[in-house]
C-alpha cells in the first residue's frame, strides 16, 4: 500500500525591525507553498524590487490586494505580497513625514553655526518678503481707493453736467412754449377784435337800411 505525499508549508520567521535599521532594509520572509510536491514561489525577486523602490529609485505605488499587478489570482487569494508592499509604503511615508517635521525644528537649536545662520537668514528673508508683500498690498489698496475715488468724482461731475444740460433744455423748451402761447393769444385777440369790428359794421349797415324806429319818435 502506497501512501500519498503529505502537503506541508515551509516558512521562515519574520525578523524584528531594529530601532537603527530603516524600513527599506526590512526583508520579507520568502514564503513558498508546496502543492502536490512541486514548489511554486509567489515572487522570487519581490523583496529586491521593493528594496530598490524603497531606497529612492522610485516611490512605492499603492496596490489593490484583490488585483495583483503581475500575478494572477488563485483560488486561495494569496495577497501577502500586496499587503506587504502597502505596509512598507505606509511605514516609509510615516518615517519621511517624521523626518521632515524633525528637521524643521532641529536645525535652529541643535544644528551647526552655519545651519543656524542659514535658518536665521531664511527667517529674515521670509520676514522681508512678508513686509514687501504687505507694503505692496497696502500700496495697491491705496491705488485702488484713489482710482475708485476718481471714478466716483468723475461720475458725480458727469451727473451734475447732465443735470445742468437737462435743466437748460427744459428751460429752453418752457420759454419756447411760453412764447408760442403768447403768440397764439395775441393772434386770437386780434381775430376777436377783427370779428367785433366786422360785427359792428354789419349791425350799423343793418340799422341804416332797416332802422328800428321808422317814425323816428324815439329821438
Give 32: exposed, middle or buried? Use CB within 10 Å, 0-12, 13-18, 19+: middle
The helix (H) or strand (E) run that includes residue 10 is: strand 9-10
> What is the DSSP secondary-structure string of 25-73?
GPPPP--EEEETTEEEES-TTHHHHHHHIIIIISPPPP-BTTB-SSS--
Distance of CA 68 to the CA centre of its chain: 40
Please state the pTM of the whole predicted model.
0.38
The pLDDT value given to residue 119: 86
The pLDDT value given to residue 89: 87
The pLDDT value given to residue 115: 84
> What is the DSSP secondary-structure string of 152-199?
HHHHHHHHHHHHHHHHHHHHHHHHHHHHHHHHHHHHHHHHHHHHHHHH
Report residue 6 as a C-alpha cell.
Answer: 503529505
Tens of pLDDT along the chain (219 residues) come to 555 555 444 444 444 344 444 444 444 444 443 333 333 444 445 555 555 555 555 667 777 777 766 655 555 666 677 788 888 888 888 988 888 888 777 777 887 888 889 889 999 999 999 999 999 999 999 999 999 999 999 999 999 999 999 999 999 999 999 999 999 999 999 999 999 999 999 888 887 777 676 666 665
The pLDDT value given to residue 28: 46
Amino acid at each position: 500500500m502506497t501512501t500519498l505525499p503529505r502537503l506541508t508549508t515551509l516558512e521562515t520567521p519574520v525578523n524584528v525591525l531594529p530601532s537603527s535599521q530603516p524600513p527599506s532594509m526590512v526583508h520579507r520572509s520568502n514564503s513558498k507553498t508546496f502543492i502536490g510536491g512541486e514548489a511554486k514561489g509567489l515572487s522570487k525577486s519581490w523583496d529586491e524590487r521593493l528594496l530598490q523602490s524603497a531606497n529612492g529609485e522610485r516611490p512605492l505605488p499603492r496596490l489593490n490586494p484583490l488585483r495583483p499587478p503581475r500575478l494572477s489570482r488563485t483560488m486561495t487569494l494569496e495577497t501577502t505580497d500586496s499587503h506587504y508592499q502597502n505596509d512598507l509604503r505606509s511605514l516609509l511615508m510615516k518615517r519621511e513625514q517624521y523626518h521632515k517635521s524633525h528637521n524643521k525644528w532641529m536645525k535652529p537649536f541643535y544644528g551647526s553655526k552655519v545651519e543656524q545662520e542659514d535658518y536665521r537668514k531664511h527667517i529674515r528673508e521670509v520676514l522681508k518678503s512678508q513686509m514687501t508683500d504687505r507694503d505692496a498690498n497696502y500700496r495697491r489698496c491705496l491705488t485702488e481707493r484713489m482710482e475708485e475715488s476718481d471714478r466716483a468724482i468723475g461720475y458725480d461731475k458727469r451727473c451734475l453736467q447732465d443735470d445742468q444740460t437737462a435743466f437748460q433744455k427744459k428751460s429752453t423748451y418752457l420759454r419756447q412754449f411760453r412764447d408760442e402761447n403768447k403768440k397764439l393769444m395775441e393772434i386770437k385777440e386780434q381775430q376777436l377784435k377783427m370779428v367785433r369790428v366786422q360785427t359792428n359794421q354789419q349791425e350799423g349797415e343793418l340799422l341804416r337800411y332797416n332802422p328800428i324806429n321808422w317814425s323816428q319818435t324815439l329821438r
